[in-house]
Structure 1
Amino acid sequence: MDEPVRPPRVLTGVLVLLVVLLGAAVVFLRGQDLAEQARADDRRAALEAAGTHAINLVSLDYKTVDADMGRILATSTGVAQEEYKAGAAKLKSTTAENKVVQHGVLRATGLVSMTELTARVLVVADVEIRWEGSKTPKQERFYRWSMDVTKAKGVWLVSRAVQVV
């Protein structure tokens, strides 16, 4: 009886090595794909955070000014949040006294730069302002900001907003 033919040990070793290398390449490429997806998610989240904050800034109603201010504070952090807190009382009283109703529309956001925890975003928003009970005609205003956005506890928040011309 003839003994079965066995592949040489070298060939078996090469095949095992190729399978291991192929597996390592798949794991590496999958890790790269996941890392790129995480970066894309962060870019999208930073842009969305800046856009949401801009809309919060330009959408005010004297009937809901406390909730409106709450949204501004909830989408900000650091220096920006402190500035909004410092001006909140005046903004509330001015909005209520003048019966201001502002409706904002986000026009565009663009990423200028980004690191793992910070981003700079340019934001364009327009607003229509009216004064309830006043004969003053509606006004349209156009805002452009450079916003610094910071990732804090996994959430992107505006840490600085500067109007640009």
Structure 2
Amino acid sequence: MTVLAVVALGLLGGGIYPPAAERIAAASAADDRDAILQAARQVGLNLMSMDHKTIEKDTERVLSGSTGTFKDQYAAQTKTFIEEITKNQASSQAQVLSAGVTDYDDDSAEVIVAVSAVVTSPSVPNGTPRNMRFLIEMSKIDGKWLASKFGVIQ
């Protein structure tokens, strides 16, 4: 009788463990996708939310959320970008409309982010709408998702 109970418990344990492992793996994958989406959405928002009064902080936010090629390219253009925004006294308020992960693995992801912004300046006080779609490649560096490549989708 004791042997039968041990065998029954072993069978039950074998029947319970794989579904539990699948649920844990699915939850972990969902957490990864959420973290990827949150980071990519923030990159898109940071790229389109600028103000001539806070432009140094604004560009630093973009740089702090980036790595690799994208960070190098953005950093190389930052001085010119700051000068243009400041000279034109431009400001941009943005919102992320949608974002979706198109592909990912443990340490990289590809995300499409749609952003809408209104750009204002003294010459355009009522603002000009700008709608952009970005393809952002994300890399996981030290547990944090950062933008490593960036492109505009036409």
What's 2:44 paired with?
54
Percent identity reads 27
Match of 2:111 in 1: 121
SS at match of 1:138: strand
Residue matched to 1:97: 87
- Show CA shifts across 1:82-121 (max 9, x none): 1111011011111111101111111110111111111111
* Residue pairs, 1:13-52, within 5 angstroms: 13-52=3-42
| C-alpha distance in 2 between matches for 1:25 and 1:63 | 62
Q: CA deviation at 1:135?
A: 5.2
Match status 1:68 vs 2:49: no
Please, which of 117, 130, 154 is the counterpart of residue 143 of structure 2?
A: 154
Q: Which has the higher strand share?
A: 2
Displacement, 1:136?
Answer: 6.1
Aligned partner letter, 1:60: M
- Partner letter of residue 140 of structure 1? P
Which deviates the most, 23-32 or 65-74? 23-32
Alignment-derived partner of residue 5 in structure 1: none
RMSD (Å) for aligned C-alpha atoms:
1.5
Distance, in Å, in 2 between the alignment partners of 1:33 and 1:143 is 36
Amino acid at match of 1:68: D
Which runs of no fewer than 5 residues in structure 2 stay unpaired?
none
Bigger Rg, which one: 1
**Aligned-pair distance for 1:24?**
3.9
In 2: Cα distance, 1:25 partner to 1:77 partner: 44
| CA shift in 2, pair 1:15/1:104, >3 Å | same
Q: Taking structure 1 as the reference length, what is the TM-score of the superposition?
A: 0.87
C-alpha distance in structure 1 between counterparts of 2:31 and 2:102, whole Å: 16
Distance in 2 of aligned mates of 1:51 and 1:160: 14
Alignment partner of 2:66: what SS? coil
1:70 deviation in Å?
A: 1.0
Deviation digits for residues 33-91 of structure 1 (CA, Å, limit 9, x no counterpart): 22211110001111111111000000000000011011101111111111111011011
Q: Match of 2:123, SS?
A: coil
The aligned amino acid for 1:156 is W
Deviation at 1:30, TM superposition (A): 2.5
TM-score by length of structure 2 reads 0.93
